[in-house]
Each structure stands twice: as structure tokens, then as C-alpha cells.
Amino acid sequence: MPVELALNVILSQDPEIKGKLRQLDKLSIALQIKNINHTIIVKIENHKLLLNSSSDTKADLTVTANAIELAKLAYYPDNLFSKDIEIYGDVQFAKKLRDILYELDLDLEALIANLTGDILAYPIVHGFCQINNWMKSIHTSLEKNMAEYLREEAELLPDKLLTNNYLTNIDKIRADLERLEARVNRLKRRNNEG
């Protein structure tokens, strides 16, 4: 499998990562890619990654997200514990995996240069970064526009000011209730003493 070969070539260039992978020997991860409805099982064996699509393999850790979120993990390992990614299974394994991703020093441009030559490597990597930034911008804009539409046009969400006023009023009522309860308790004690 070409992807498996490429990943193992990348990992083989870093002896420290190989040592860390030995600690995870025989463990497996199910990567469930939501937007294409596909699961890839990654098994760690003899400091190498073995990939397969067998759905009957039980994994130690299941990571579910869209393809772009999974791809971003190579550069943003903390995203493993973000709201965009669901994790089930061995949390300690997930933490070790995140630590390995932190230590992984990917020189994407050098790896692509080995395949395409120096002249094409920079534009490819630069283009990938621009696409990534563009996707982030679209996501942020879409999220903002959707919230605005639901609040202003469809009137399905309350305005922030209304929500804040509502929460402030709840806090005031809660404080008033606590004061009233304290006063009732004082009156009960006086009544019992007298």
C-alpha cells in the first residue's frame, strides 16, 4: 500500500520516533473518516505502521473526524483532544500518540522534493498551506454566518444580549433565593429558641 510505505519511510528517518513506537507495539487505532464514511485501521508492529480497511478488527483507540481534521493532526497534535475529533478507547494511548506527533519533525518540503525535485516541492507545500488557511477561513465565516442567520433571520437563536440578560437575571434570582432561605433559617432558629 503506497500510503503505508510513505508513512513508514517518514517514520524511519527519525530514530527517536522508532523507539517511541516500540512502546506502542501491537496497539491499533481505528481512524473513522466521517465525511467519506471510511475506516482505516492502523496497527503498530515492530516500530512500523500497518494499514488496512478491515472493519472487523477491534482497535485499542478509535478516532473519528473529517479527513481534513485528521490530516491536520500532523501539524497540530493538540487537535486530537479538540471538539472536532471524537476519541473512544485507551486515553493513555491517545496521549502517547499526541506526544509522538509533537516530536515528529516533518519536513514536508524535503519529502516532496525527493519525489518531485526542488523546483516543484515549494509550490506544492505552499499551495497546501494556502488551501489549509483558506479552508479555515471558510469554516470560520460559515460558522459566523450560520449563527447570524439563525439569530437574525430565522429567529431560532436568541440574541447574545438577551441571553446575557437572561443569565444575569437567573443569577440575581438565585442570589435572592439564597438570601431568602438564609432568612427563613434564621427565623426558624429564633422560633425554636424562644
In 143-187, the DSSP E strands lie at: none
- Over the stretch 78-124, which tens digit does the pLDDT of each residue have? 888 888 889 888 888 888 888 887 777 666 666 667 667 778 777 87
Q: Does residue 61 contact residue 89 with C-beta atoms inside 8 Å?
A: yes
- Over the stretch 16-59, which tens digit does the pLDDT of each residue have? 777 778 888 888 888 888 888 888 888 888 878 888 877 677 88
Domain 2-106 carries which CATH code? Answer: 3.30.1050.10
Q: Residue 184 pLDDT > 90, yes or no? A: yes
Q: Residue 192 pLDDT > 70, yes or no? A: yes
Mean pLDDT of 131-144: 79
Crossing angle (nearest 10°) for helices 108-116 and 118-148: 130
Mean pLDDT of 66-72: 83
Closest by Cα among 63, 57, 119, 124 to 89: 63
- Over the stretch 151-176, which tens digit does the pLDDT of each residue have? 777 777 777 778 888 889 999 999 99
Residue 1, pLDDT score: 62
Q: Residue 180 pLDDT > 90, yes or no? A: yes
- The verdict on pTM exceeding 0.85 is no
Q: Residue 64 pLDDT > 80, yes or no? A: yes
Mean pLDDT of 2-11: 74
User: Is 59 exposed, middle or buried, given 0-12, 13-18 or 19+ CB atoms closer than 10 A?
Assistant: buried
Identity of the residue numbered 10: I
Domains of the chain, by residue range, sit at 2-106, 118-157, 161-194
Residue 110, pLDDT score: 67
Residue 194, pLDDT score: 67
